[in-house]
Every structure is written in structure tokens, then in C-alpha cells.
Structure 1
């Protein structure tokens, strides 16, 4: 990851106030709907063992970064499950969309300008136009956080974790995303470049809930400070900081 030769993107986050899983649809869990058995998981594109962005902001790099993030998440969580003596089943599919209602989860339309994990069909979906725009404004670290957060929701589902309040689910997913990325950096499978930690922090501060949002409301994700705190708690202290039991 890293800004490399494409430069910093200071002061351009205000337009992303609705960005990065800030809507209630981040984790979509319809009740009583069976998963579609025809959906097949698409494998991530192969890449080098050590992931490093090439310092551009092209469509090709965006696609490669997303594929790398998926591949690394699958490798990381497979190792965690294996270490605990459990079998691991990767998320079945990561898909893109461009229009409201183009993708549904158990009968619910997935809105534009968002990324979601659908529990009923076990897929991650993200608005590709919005995601690419945020990638160019914030930096390539955004892509890895985006995928890491949604993948964490899939892990919560596999572990049977379900809190009473949305904010608890979301802040734990932020912590788990931080743990995955921090552990990957420490293991040498992901390389940070100058400015990447700043990109993580600025992105998280830009996507917290509005101050008027009650913490207990359905769809609450946490204040900007809470989201950054939980992400970096996981980044620095690994999964032991994420209350996984």
C-alpha cells in the first residue's frame, strides 16, 4: 500500500461524509431467507507474496489492490481458524455494483455509495464508482480497510457473534480490520509506505456517525473518534484487543 508517487490527498475528505460503511446497510442480515446455492465465490487474482501498491491511482491498481486485499484476508483468517483448530470457509463472493437495487440481499436493495456484507448469501458487495472515487481521494489504504472491515463481518457471522446494538458489531469489525492489517504488516505480507497510517486515520475520522446520531440507534457505527480508536487498538494489539472471547 502507500501513496508513493501519486502524492498526498490532504483536505479532500469532506465530500466523503457518507462514505465507507457509514450507512445502516454495512451488515445486511435479513431474517428467514435461505442463501442462494447458485452463487459461486470468485477467486482473488494471484499476486506477489508481499503486497505493495505501485504508487498510482489507476483503475488497474484499484482492481489489483482489491484483489490483493481479498487474498490477504482469506490467508489471514484461514491461519487464525487453523491455529484455533477450526476449519475456515472463505466468503463466497466479492461483487461490484453501480445502481440502487442492482444488488439485493434477502429481498433488501443494497444502496449506492456503500459497501456491505450480506449474511444471507455470504457475499461482500461494494459500489465500484464510489469506492474508486474514495480510493483516489483518500489513497490505496482505503481499499484495504474497506475490504478488511466487511470481511470482519463475515468472520463475526462464522463465529456466531451477534450483539444487541449495531454499534457494538461495527466497532468490533473496525478492531478486527485493524488486527488483520497490523498483523499482516508485522508478518511482512503487507508493506506500508509513508502516509498509509495517516490515510487510515483520516479515512476513519471522515466516516464516523453524525453527532446527532444516538449510539443505540439501528445502523449506528460509532463516532469518528470511536472508529479510529477501535481500528488502531486492533492494529497495535492484534485480535486480543477485539473481545472475541
Structure 2
């Protein structure tokens, strides 16, 4: 179901392009997951779901997350100017884009810096939409956007567990957008996101900066942003 209540410049600027990048700040997961995401990904999207419906949902997710950060970034980060991602790049396994001179891995999503672009395997998004629910599309976009936020803030605001902080930012953006009345939570969304965070988690608790954490780590981080908003994603002062 399409949930966009307004449009933004970022959504209107969605482009289909393949471009080189010089660094990757986190994918959706590392690969050693607790569950199987795309066992049947090569079967393609369910024929009952038009591709345009999924593309529209991705565009709406971009719109919602951008509107939230455009309105609120400077409130939490010292008045700094917010810069949204400038490119949104779907790709397929047979035509992988490059980042830092290396191909982006298939069956994933990522933020590429300093090109300031979000990238996703379209087959993965199709699979997640059909098998996980539309809320998962918003989670993926908001998580990768969280890495774009990390690229704009000082180290004092960064968690050591940057993947978990991206989960926190995802919740802060989506729940904040709901408070701003630009996004509507629907019945079943919480279960869809909880299931996705579980399936896309690593097999062990967070141990280093590249880890996404186990299911409880990811759900806890998401809840930090759900309950505390952006401030819930500040580092804990010992």
C-alpha cells in the first residue's frame, strides 16, 4: 500500500544509473545471517505484484525518510546543514555497480560514500516486498539513509556499532515521520520489521564495527530510535 502524503525533491530525483564509488558504509547485512533471505530469489517477483507497485513503494520510502531528516537534522546536530543522498541506484546481479573500485555485492543494499548514493539489488527488494511486507522496504531505505547521516555527523555522535546505529536511525526516522504525519503505520508493520531484523541479523552478538549484531541487538537498537527518537541514537556517555 502506498503511504506517501507529500512529495520531496529527493523522491523526484530518483535516477537509474551505475556509478563508481570510493567507499561503502555498511550493507543491510554481512551474509552470515540467522535466517535465509532469498532462497528463491532467482524465481523473480511474484507475478501478482506489479513491478511498478514495488518501485512506487521504494520511491515513497525515499520521500518519507528524506522529509523527516530535512525537517529535523539540524535540530539534533548543531545546526549543521543536511545533505540528502544524491543518487538512488537499483542494480541487478548481471550488472553490478562499483564502489571503491570493487563491485557491490549482489543480494544486498548499501550506502556509498563520498558519492552519497544509496544502492540496492532490485531482486532483493522485490523478494523482501513479496515475502516480508511493504514495511521492510521502508526499513531498508531508512537503514541505509542512516549511514548517510553518519557520514555528516562528527565522531562524537557515532556509535562504535555503526550498523546498529543505522537501525536506530531507521526507527527514529520512521516513527518521527509518523509523528510529523507524513507516514502512517499499518497493522502488521511492527511484525514485518521485527521479522526482517531477525532474518537479516548476524549469527553472533555485535563484536566489531562491521557487525550488524544478532537479532536481539538489532531489535534493541531499533527500539532505541523508536522510543528515544534521534536522541536515542546518541552514544551513551559512561
Structures share a fold, TM > 0.5?
yes
**Alignment partner of 2:88 out of 86, 90, 94:** 94
What does residue 193 of structure 2 align with? 200
TM-score normalized with structure 1 length: 0.72
In 1: Cα distance, 2:52 partner to 2:95 partner: 26
For structure 2, the residue ranges without an aligned partner over 5 or more in a row are: 3-26, 32-47
- Matching residue of 2:165: 172
- Partner in structure 1 of residue 29 of structure 2: 22
Structure 1 residue runs without a partner (length 5+): 3-19, 25-55
CA deviation digits over 1:123-161, x for unaligned, max 9? 111000111111100000010000000001001001134
Which residue in the other structure is 2:115 paired with?
A: 121
If the length of structure 2 is used for normalisation, what is the TM-score? 0.74
Once the two structures are superposed, the pairs formed by residues 89-238 of structure 1 within 5 Å of their partners are 89-99=83-93, 102-161=96-155, 165=160, 168-211=161-204, 215-217=206-208, 219-238=210-229
Q: How many residues align?
A: 193
List structure 1 segments (4+ residues) > 4 angstroms apart after TM superposition: 162-165
The answer (yes or no) to whether the contact 2:207–2:213 under 8 Å persists in 1 is no
Instruction: Provide the rounded CA distance (Å) in 1 between the counterparts of 2:101 and 2:201.
Output: 27
SS of residue in 2 equivalent to 1:125 = strand
| 8 Å Cα contact 1:106/1:120 also seen in 2 | no
CA contact (8 A) 2:168 2:232 kept: yes
Q: Could you tell me how far apart the structure 2 residues matched to 1:209 and 1:242 are? A: 21
**Matches for 1:59-78 after TM superposition, within 5 Å:** 59-78=51-70
Distance 1:164 1:86 in 2: 19
Q: How far 1:215 sits from its partner (Å)? A: 3.4
Q: CA RMSD in A?
A: 2.3
Residue 218 and residue 229 in structure 1: after superposition, are their counterparts in 2 closer, same or farther (change >3 A)? closer
In structure 2, the CA distance between the partners of 1:227 and 1:102, relative to structure 1 (3 Å rule), is same
Distance 1:209 1:89, change over 3 A: same
Q: Is the 8 A contact 1:105 1:121 kept in 2?
A: no
Distance 1:63 1:123 in 2: 17
